[in-house]
Amino acid sequence: MGRYYCGESGDVEKRLTVHNNCGYKYTTKGIPWVMIRVFEVADRSEARLLERKIKKGGSKDSSKE
């Protein structure tokens, strides 16, 4: 394994399907992607703040919280 992706979406199942079907150039090298954690937040603003916090700390380490 070793590759982690952190992003925001209103429909995480659809987003995962798109990533695994070569929907985005950046994520094609990590196929197959497996969802390991989902955080529900109140709104998109909060989602972006959380995403930045996770990426700043390293999504690999943050996934184990």
Q: pLDDT for 49-62, tens place per residue?
A: 999 999 998 545 44
Q: Which domain holds residue 27?
A: 12-62
Per-residue pLDDT, 11: 95
Q: What is the dihedral of CA 44, 49, 59, 37, to 10 degrees?
A: -40
In a domain, 48, yes or no: yes
Task: Tell me the pLDDT tens digit for each residue of 12-55.
Answer: 999 999 999 988 888 888 899 999 999 999 999 999 999 999 99
**Bond into 32 cis (ω within 30):** yes
Q: Which residues of 12-33 are buried (b: 16+ CB within 10 A; e: fewer)?
A: eeebbeebeeeeeeebeeeeeb
64 pLDDT higher than 70: no
pLDDT exceeds 50 at position 65: no
The number of domains in the chain is 1
- Decide if 55 is inside a domain: yes
Tokens of 60: 């690999």
